[in-house]
Amino acid sequence: MRLLTRYVLREIGLVFVITLISLTTLMIMIGAVREAIAQGLGAPQIVQLLPYLMPNALMFAVPGTILFSVSSVYGRMSGANEVVALKSLGISPMVLLWPALFLSVVLSFATVWLNDVAQSWGFEGVQRVAINALEDIAYSMLRTRKSFATPSFSVTVQRVKGRTLVSPMFTLQQDGGRAIIRAEAAELRSNPGSGVLTIKLYNSTVDAEGHHFENPDVSERDIPISPQSHGDQSPAHMALRQMPAALVRQHEILGEIEKRMVTNASFQMLTGDFDGLSGGGWAHEEKELTHHKFRLYRMRTEPPRRWANGFSCLCFALVGSGMAIRMRNSDALTSFFLCFGPILLVYYPLLAFGVDRAKAGAISPYAVWLANVILVAWGVWLLRRVLRY
């Protein structure tokens, strides 16, 4: 039995490692090129991105790779009548199957961890590289296009002379609206690690919220450019260890908003301010309440989503091994696509539906496991038929 276990693990492991290296390398290259195009990064920044893109690439590559490995290996073994030979000797096919299932469980836990690392550390690393390179990116774009924009600000210039922006106009997005800054000249300077871009202005004017300011001297203005500086961190990019504390804090915020709304409504009723009670003054309060409720739903959905995504490895292995043995096709690609086709049509649409509805608060966050449960039931049914016939 140990000989069979080693044989199966060696065959699956060899296919898995070769496929994983090839697929991960391809996905990292695609991811690096996509980020470079989207954010205008150069070769040095692309090299810095590679470690941060690795977890994300592995997160997507591992489930597909384990499916390809089990479907190709078990398809070849079944096509060569090795499974039939084992049954004729009175040996259960589970001797061949359990090494792959055990490996898929280990890979499932690893994929959950990779998902967590990719969404937190990996995303923050990519953003940090882009932010640190923002000064060079901005100057490059301004020289060629005479304009540059980020979620924090946009700038247009007449021309760029060395490191000096001639006749720039900055549009800054602020909580209270937007500010427009015009200057005779300006310089940009990023501060790596701080998430802040400093603008040095010469002979500038500022128009903001109906006010007009003029400064004939040299002045500086800091612009927050880190995504976290524009509000709370997105639940999609929080580490799982941060979720419990974040959920408690989110409940507290909702409680404070509801308490404030009740207090304001009670005061308006006591003072007879029925116009204020029924007027449009509550629109901001309702918008804020809706925003934080939506954020709470997203926080609740994120942990089960990552666990469900990770354990797709086990689900894929269950379905892939059973189908490959029953189809008895020794061609690796044919076995893979015969297994992946139904998974593509069933698993991913159900997962997307569950995540979307759970984030909207329409269903329980644990509904994201529905796709996994269906695949497990399907895989168990296939394995029972493999064992019985």
CA-based nearest residue to 355, from 368, 342, 346: 368
SS3 state of residue 210: coil
Average pLDDT, the chain: 87
Beta-bridge partner residues of 326 = none
CA distance 184 to 205: 9
> Structure pTM?
0.82
8-state DSSP, 234: P
Please check whether residue 28 is in contact with residue 109, taking contact to mean a CB–CB distance below 8 angstroms: no
Beta-bridge partner residues of 166 = 159, 185
Tens of pLDDT, residue by residue over 86-125, are 888 888 888 899 999 999 999 999 999 999 999 999 988 8
Question: Which percentage of the chain shows pLDDT scores above 70?
Answer: 93
Please check whether residue 1 is in contact with residue 92, taking contact to mean a CB–CB distance below 8 angstroms: no
Contacts of 169 (CB under 8 A, 6+ apart): 155, 156, 157, 180, 181, 182
Q: How confident is the model at residue 231 (pLDDT cuts 50, 70, 90)?
A: very low
| Length reported for the chain | 389
Residue 56, CB-side half-sphere exposure with 13 Å CA sphere? 22
Tens of pLDDT, residue by residue over 141-199, are 888 889 988 877 889 999 999 889 999 999 987 665 788 999 999 999 877 656 678 89
DSSP string computed for 123-154 = HHHHHHHHHHTHHHHHHHHHHHHSEEE-SSEE
Please check whether residue 183 is in contact with residue 203, taking contact to mean a CB–CB distance below 8 angstroms: yes
Tens of pLDDT, residue by residue over 344-365, are 888 999 999 999 999 999 999 9
